[in-house]
Amino acid sequence: MLPAARRDLLLDRLRRDGRLVAKDLAVELGVTEDAVRRDLRELAAAGLVQRVYGGALPVSPAVADYAARTVVAPASKARVAAAAAALVRPGSTVLLDGGTTALAVTAALPPDLEATVVTHSPTVAAALVAHPRVEVVVIGGRLFKHSAVTCGAAAVEAAAGVWADLFLLGVTGVHDEAGLTTGDADEAAMKRALAARAAETWVLGSEEKIGAASPFRVLPLTAVAGVVTDAAPGHPVVGRLVRAGVTLLHA
């Protein structure tokens, strides 16, 4: 089999199985593991797979820039946002992450909600102007324009002074093996800092993020209370998450 045809086969197998294991594929295809790994490197360089130890996972569509993500699966994000908004209790303090699903949460909050929302997202903060009884606290720092959030040392230091009841965490990938991932190291560090300031963290896991992975791990799945998702119960990764003991809140 020519290398190009083999790479096409790998992509078809990834779409079917949701993961690639280099060792198993080498045996099946009658080639060396080095040949499979070389194929995976080329596919990863083209942005078609996310390499992980021993193989590869689907790449997340949520790694596109902020403007592009606003038109990715809006109905799915709205469903997840509505379920996540129901976790916000009157009088509570909530850390709300950045990103397009977090922005959808602001629209799903009751208009008469009385609460405090702390965010490092200027777009989320601006959307909350429409909620007259929500006190908004904005964490400052260096603006990471790809996701329209603040990151860096100043933002982490500011977050250290916050204690929240709930953190609604946005990620670009939710996978039973890779955990919770995102596309930037500094953004991942900021998300960890925010999670450390909340009594409970729930993940905003719209369908396109389930089974996908990005280069930088935010947290293991064991570090969060659960995942809010609209992925179908029959989704293979959903099944593996349930068997691993992850709590899922179905939107």
* Of 71-85, 186-200, 205-219, highest mean pLDDT: 186-200
Q: What percent of the chain has pLDDT over 70?
A: 95
Q: What is the pLDDT of residue 5?
A: 83
Q: What is the pLDDT of residue 65?
A: 63
Q: Is the pLDDT of residue 158 over 90?
A: yes
Q: What is the CATH number of domain 3-59?
A: 1.10.10.10
Q: Is the pLDDT of residue 123 over 70?
A: yes
- Token pair belonging to 118: 């702390």
Cβ burial, residue 142 (10 Å; 0-12/13-18/19+): middle
For the chain, the structural domain boundaries read: 3-59, 66-250
Across 62-71, 89-98, 163-172, 230-239, least confident range: 62-71
Q: What is the pLDDT of residue 19?
A: 82
Q: What is the DSSP string of 27-92?
A: HHHTS-HHHHHHHHHHHHHTTSEEEETTEEEEBPGGGS-HHHHTTSSHHHHHHHHHHHHTTPPTT-
Q: What is the pLDDT of residue 64?
A: 59
The residues, ordered by sequence, that sit 6+ positions from 80 with a Cβ below 8 Å of its Cβ are 101, 104, 204, 205, 206, 228, 229, 230, 251
Q: Is the pLDDT of residue 43 over 90?
A: no
Q: Is the pLDDT of residue 61 over 90?
A: no
Q: What is the pLDDT of residue 69?
A: 63
Q: Is the pLDDT of residue 9 over 90?
A: no
CA dist 28 and 12 (Å) reads: 15
Residue of 213 and 200 predicted with greater confidence: 200
**How large is the average pLDDT for residues 10-22?**
83
The amino acid that residue 117 corresponds to is V
CA dist 152 and 15 (Å) reads: 36
CA dist 99 and 148 (Å) reads: 7
Q: With beta carbons less than 8 A apart as the criterion, state whether 206 and 102 touch.
A: no
66-250 matches 3-59 in CATH topology = no
Cα–Cα nearest to 115, from 139, 137, 146, 140: 137
Q: Which CATH number fits domain 66-250: 3.30.70.1290, 3.40.50.1360, 3.30.497.10, 3.20.20.100?
A: 3.40.50.1360
Q: Is the pLDDT of residue 47 over 70?
A: yes
Q: What is the pLDDT of residue 71?
A: 62
Q: Is the pLDDT of residue 60 over 80?
A: no
Kind plus residue range of the DSSP H or E element containing 14: helix 3-17
CA dist 126 and 12 (Å) reads: 42
Q: What is the pLDDT of residue 25?
A: 87
Backbone angles phi, psi at 159, to 5 degrees: -65, -25
The H-assigned helical ranges of 86-225 are 100-108, 122-127, 153-159, 185-195
Beta bridge pairs of residue 174: 180, 210
Kind plus residue range of the DSSP H or E element containing 15: helix 3-17
Q: With beta carbons less than 8 A apart as the criterion, state whether 127 and 106 touch.
A: yes
Write down the mean pLDDT value for the chain: 90
Q: What is the pLDDT of residue 117?
A: 98
